[in-house]
Amino acid sequence: MRLGIFGGTFNPVHDGHLRTAEEARYKLRLDKVIFVPSGTPPLKETDTVASSHRFAMVKLAVASNKDFIVSDLEAGKQGKTYTVDTLRKLRKEFPGDVMYFILGVDAFLELPKWRQPEELTGLADFAIVSRPGFRLDDVVNSPYIKGADTEEVNREVSGKKMIRTLADSRPAVHQLRSYRLASGRRAFLVPVTRLDISSTDIRHLIEQKRSIKYLLPLSVERYIKKHKLYLKT
């Protein structure tokens, strides 16, 4: 199987996440996308709601998509969780499967601040998705990018994989621009529909008692209302 792993705080999940996951699924020919909402950070002063709420909202958001799954690997644990540990666990759980770690270019550029980034970039290939306000081309400035990936692409084009491309109308993965990571893994640049939506903006709208309609699924909007989330008291 070809799996996409999509981590995030999802505080709350919104249509930017969902459409991005859907387009990454199509463009990378993934069988499933596994959403992994993070655990609750230990510091109480943040505006991150409990992981049980964020997990429940992602569950509601993906309910209508049979190719989307939610994992409680992080949300089910107490305290802060780290992607590097999660990817190690998922590697063990799905030993024979191809794994792509999906993240926005904003998140990829923050990688040096993450826990054990060198190890992390060795655990899966990366799918770096576009996001309004950030340039996909900036990924070359990341310390974890080693260089362009032309050799591999040429080999694939002249080899067997080209035949499969012709029989399938979907673009082949190798048609995506890719870079070689310092770890030896590959990082694919995946342009997706530019939806300028962020959880931060949604939280601000709720605080100001303004509408959040059409920025996220109705089921999630209802959940937020029911549980009175993100209202500053």
52 binds ligand ATP (CB under 6 A): no
Q: Which residue is nearest to ligand ATP (CB)?
A: 104
Of 79 and 96, which CB lies nearer to ligand ATP in the complex structure? 79
Task: Based on the shown chain and the rule CB under 6 A, indicate whether residue 198 belongs to the binding site for ligand ATP.
Answer: yes
CA 205 to chain centre: 23
Q: Structure tokens of 98?
A: 């191809």
Region from 23-31, 69-77, 101-109, 147-155 binding ligand ATP, contact rule CB under 6 A: 101-109
Contact between 21 and ligand ATP (CB under 6 A)? no
In the chain, how long is the greatest CA-to-CA distance?
62
C-alpha radius of gyration, the chain, whole number? 18
Phi first, then psi: give them for residue 213, nearest 5 degrees: -55, 140
Structure tokens at 202: 């949604």
Among 4, 9, 86, 90, indicate the residue that binds ligand ATP (CB under 6 A). Answer: 9
87 is an interface residue for ligand ATP by CB under 6 A: no
Give the one residue of 84, 107, 172, 205 binding ligand ATP; rule: CB under 6 A. 107
- Residue in 68, 187, 74, 172 with CA at minimum distance from that of residue 129: 187
We find the least distance from the C-beta atom of residue 159 to ligand ATP, in angstroms, to be 32
Q: Which of 156, 195, 204, 227 binds ligand ATP (CB under 6 A)?
A: 195
What are the structure tokens assigned to 150, written together?
């032309």
- Please give, one letter per residue, the 3-state secondary structure of 85-115: HHHHHHHHHCCCCEEEEEEEHHHHHCHHHCC
Does position 86 interact with ligand ATP (CB under 6 A)? The reply is: no
With CB under 6 A as the contact rule, which of the stretches 16-24, 66-74, 86-94, 211-219 interacts with ligand ATP?
Answer: 16-24
Q: Is 53 left (phi over 0), alpha (psi -120 to 50) or beta?
A: alpha
The three-state secondary structure class of 125 is: strand
Of the candidates 4, 5, 16, 25, which one interacts with ligand ATP according to CB under 6 A? Answer: 16
Instruction: Give the binding site for ligand ATP (CB under 6 A).
Output: 8-11, 16-17, 20, 103-104, 106-107, 129, 131, 195, 197-200
